[in-house]
């Protein structure tokens, strides 16, 4: 990802929160800079009140991580912020040298289970926190939104039209994430180039308005784009002007051995207009022309159009709500220290839901006899999953499930070892293919939008005992 921004993206060490650097300097001067640590990334709630989250962003994060170091001008700037000389010398040669484990990009994941694990010295693990959260939270949010759209659009394609409504250069990551979730293409040409995403687009109302009349505008566009003619038919009057003029041009194209590709509806009652348009096109012998709809679409609107109103729409262009992950402003992903110098650590809270799970861990996915997702379980790293027969609710242990003799899969895999990136790059389209495979194994009751069935994530008995013992120790120290 070699796009130019207002920063020199060959040196991304300053792409962090100030307190990360303040803590790093504190570790340096407290004799802790070589302490061995493990941090974990997870999130607390599924976005959109849904039953799942799609993990995205690891590939982008690792590419940016490879550039996470400090230029001479960065060091000069930090000197002005009163950081000390010896610490700045340390930063001048900084490069991440730790190990990272992650679930696959495009994986279906759930709250409170480790999705990514970072091992290394405490300074390097701390400094990369903000970059990690910034990329993974945002891309996972947008990928989840896109997959929700995919669930209701089915075989009908949709495209990301959100560039102009996105938050700055975040549009690039958002377009990639949208494609991971199911978008077939993007209007964002730079994202298309950077991430090997098909690009698509039609025309704006300004094209129509720039000509003396609509028919002239349509003819000119078809002449310039005979192999990809899609006409926007709602500039003046969709039924009385736009569609009739599109039909005239389509017939003229046919006489030249050409075919119009589609018309686009961008306002009004989309269900009503699509039905009218379909009949007018079919009556004119133009049943091959597709109908594309845009204008403030989301998964609920599309579901209503297709399932409730039987709209004659073949494809969708989705902008604001997709590219921003509306209505959720952010995924609440967090990054927590779970072990230091082989000693398990946890954040303790009177609100038990916010207690973290201590120690180095692994995540196992179990499948039922039909091959569907059954349970996820969090185990300590030194546990043998084949010896784990029961997994427990993290808060209410009286709720538990047998996983004896079930097929299982280890979700966390090494993607960086000693600073070397092992993850093979894949296009967003390829990652979406993996998501499609996983979605087929994911029970439908978890996919519904209203009151989705809760997918259960449990912990092993050994992890529960470790957490409880550490909790009691912390309570005794406090009280």
pLDDT digits (tens, 9 = 90+) for 216-240: 999 999 999 999 999 999 999 999 9
DSSP alpha helices (H): ranges in 93-128?
122-127
pTM of the full structure: 0.95
For CA atoms 433, 438, 443, 446, the dihedral sign is negative
Q: Please say whether the beta carbons of 142 and 60 come within 8 A.
A: no
Phi, psi of 118 (to 5 degrees): -115, 125
Q: Please say whether the beta carbons of 213 and 195 come within 8 A.
A: no
Q: What is the pLDDT of residue 479?
A: 61
Q: Which residues pair with 262 in a beta bridge?
A: 230, 290
Q: At what angle do helices 85-92 and 18-29 cross, to 10 degrees?
A: 110
- DSSP label at residue 199: B
What secondary structure, in 3-state letters, does 339-359 show? EECCEECCCCCCCHHHCCCCC
For CA atoms 267, 241, 271, 436, the dihedral sign is negative
Q: Please say whether the beta carbons of 83 and 21 come within 8 A.
A: yes
Q: What is the pLDDT of residue 267?
A: 95
CA distance 291 to 418: 52
Given a cut of 50, the residues of the chain with pLDDT beneath it are 1-8
pLDDT digits (tens, 9 = 90+) for 117-165: 999 999 999 999 999 999 999 999 999 999 999 999 999 999 999 999 9
Q: How far is CA 28 from CA 75, 83, 368, 375, 445, in A?
A: 16, 11, 49, 42, 50
Token pair in block for residue 218: 């349509």
- DSSP label at residue 257: T
- DSSP label at residue 327: T
Token pair in block for residue 40: 């974990």
CA distance 427 to 83: 41
Q: Please say whether the beta carbons of 412 and 378 come within 8 A.
A: no
Q: Please say whether the beta carbons of 96 and 120 come within 8 A.
A: yes
pLDDT digits (tens, 9 = 90+) for 52-110: 999 999 999 999 999 999 999 999 999 999 999 999 999 999 999 999 999 999 999 99
CA distance 150 to 177: 13
pLDDT digits (tens, 9 = 90+) for 314-323: 999 999 999 9
CA torsion angle for 388, 389, 392, 398 (degrees, to 10)?
-140
Mean pLDDT over the full length of the chain = 95
């Amino acid at each position: 990802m070699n796009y130019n921004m207002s920063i020199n993206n060959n040196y991304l060490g300053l792409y962090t929160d100030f307190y990360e650097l303040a803590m790093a300097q504190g570790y340096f001067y407290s004799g802790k800079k070589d302490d061995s640590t493990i941090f974990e990334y997870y999130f607390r709630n599924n976005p959109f009140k849904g039953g799942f989250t799609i993990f995205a962003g690891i590939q982008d994060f690792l590419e940016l991580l490879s550039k996470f170091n400090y230029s001479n001008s960065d060091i000069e700037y930090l000197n002005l912020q009163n950081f000390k000389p010896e610490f700045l010398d340390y930063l001048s040669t900084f490069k991440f040298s730790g190990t990272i484990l992650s679930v696959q990009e495009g994986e279906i994941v759930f709250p409170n289970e480790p999705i990514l694990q970072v091992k290394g010295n405490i300074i390097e693990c701390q400094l990369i926190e903000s970059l990690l959260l910034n990329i993974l939270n945002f891309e996972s949010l947008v990928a989840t939104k896109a997959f929700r759209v995919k669930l209701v659009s089915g075989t009908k394609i949709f495209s990301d039209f959100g560039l102009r409504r996105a938050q700055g250069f975040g549009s690039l990551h958002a377009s990639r994430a949208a494609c991971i979730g199911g978008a077939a293409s993007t209007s964002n040409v730079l994202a298309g180039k950077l991430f090997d995403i098909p690009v698509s687009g039609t025309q704006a109302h300004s094209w129509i308005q720039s000509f003396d009349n609509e028919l002239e505008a349509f003819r000119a566009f078809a002449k310039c784009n005979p192999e990809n003619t899609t006409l926007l038919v709602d500039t003046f009057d969709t039924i009385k002007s736009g569609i009739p003029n599109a039909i005239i041009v389509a017939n003229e194209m046919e006489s030249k051995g050409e075919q119009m590709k589609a018309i686009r509806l961008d306002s009004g009652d989309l269900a009503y207009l699509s039905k009218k348009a379909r009949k007018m096109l079919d009556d004119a012998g133009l049943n091959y022309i597709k109908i594309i709809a845009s204008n403030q679409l989301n998964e609920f609107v599309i579901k209503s159009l297709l399932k409730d109103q039987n709209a004659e729409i073949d494809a969708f262009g989705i902008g604001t709500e997709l590219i921003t992950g509306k209505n959720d402003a952010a995924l609440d992903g967090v990054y927590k220290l779970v072990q230091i110098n082989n000693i398990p650590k946890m954040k303790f809270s009177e609100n038990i839901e916010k207690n973290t799970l201590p120690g180095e861990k692994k995540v196992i996915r179990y499948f039922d006899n039909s091959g569907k997702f059954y349970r996820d379980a969090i185990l300590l790293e030194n546990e043998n999953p084949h010896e784990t027969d029961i997994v427990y609710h993290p808060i209410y242990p009286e709720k538990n499930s047998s996983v004896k003799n079930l097929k299982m899969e280890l979700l966390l895999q090494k993607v960086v070892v000693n600073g070397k990136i092992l993850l093979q790059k894949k296009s967003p389209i390829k990652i979406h293919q993996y998501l499609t495979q996983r979605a087929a194994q994911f029970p439908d009751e978890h996919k519904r939008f209203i009151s989705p069935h809760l997918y259960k994530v449990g912990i092993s008995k050994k992890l529960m005992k470790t957490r409880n013992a550490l909790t009691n120790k912390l309570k005794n120290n406090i009280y």
